[in-house]
Amino acid sequence: MTSRVLVAYATKNGSTAEIAEAIGKELESSEVQVTVSNMKDVSSLEGYDAVVIGAPMYMGKVLKDCGVFAERYRNTLCSLPVAAFAVGIAPVEPRSGSVDDVLRKLAVSLVPVQPVSATVFAGKLDVEGLSFVYRKMVSLLKVPGGDFRDWKVITEWARGIRPLLVKQ
Ligand SMILES: Cc1cc2nc3c(=O)[nH]c(=O)nc-3n(C[C@H](O)[C@H](O)[C@H](O)COP(=O)(O)O)c2cc1C
């Protein structure tokens, strides 16, 4: 029987969406049908057998959409296998906060949903493409720009969560 998996992401500047797409591609198979969607566009979890939730960090917080989504679908999410990832600059720049701290914040934003797996991926900071206010914040924080996403790490995580999300 085909399993249906939703990869629901939050994003401001698009890099988490691209990570979600890569995870979706890795999970997709003849037995697993994957939908990748901005969590703002999700109107129901009906028919899904598992959910992957991903959200970026901004100013020491998990993007608010993540908590809103977890709260809105808390009952269904508590009854399904859920895997979660946060995206930030913390894995490559400790001045933005520790990875453990990001994991704690991700867990808090998902309460009462308890993921079967949770991780933090290094993200992308395209300083030129940011709004004036964000550029100012980034320069004050002395956070480096660049694309730090490690696609090998991302696809390996996706492969690892597959048996936790769907029966094979
Ligand atoms: C204004 C600003 C604040 C940020 N704050 C944090 C932070 O507190 N911790 C962190 O790890 N990364 C932080 N980042 C890095 C973002 O999480 C990273 O750029 C991520 O890839 C953005 O995801 P998005 O493109 O999906 O919006 C910040 C980036 C910006 C522009």
Give the number of domains in the chain: 1
- For residue 121, report the distance from its CA to the centre of ligand 1, in Å: 11
- The enclosing domain of 159 has a CATH number of 3.40.50.360
* pTM for this predicted structure: 0.96
Spatial CA neighbour of 82 closest among 125, 49, 37, 123: 49
Work out the average pLDDT over 69-81: 98
Q: What is the torsional sign of CA 84, 87, 93, 94?
A: negative
Q: What domain range includes position 18?
A: 3-165
Could you report the per-residue pLDDT of 33-44, keeping only the tens digit for each?
Answer: 999 999 999 999
Beta carbons of 164 and 117 less than 8 angstroms apart: yes
Report which protein residue has its CA nearest ligand 1's atom 4: 58
pLDDT of residue 74: 97
- For residue 118, report the distance from its CA to the centre of ligand 1, in Å: 18
Could you report the per-residue pLDDT of 120-141, keeping only the tens digit for each?
Answer: 999 999 888 888 888 888 887 7
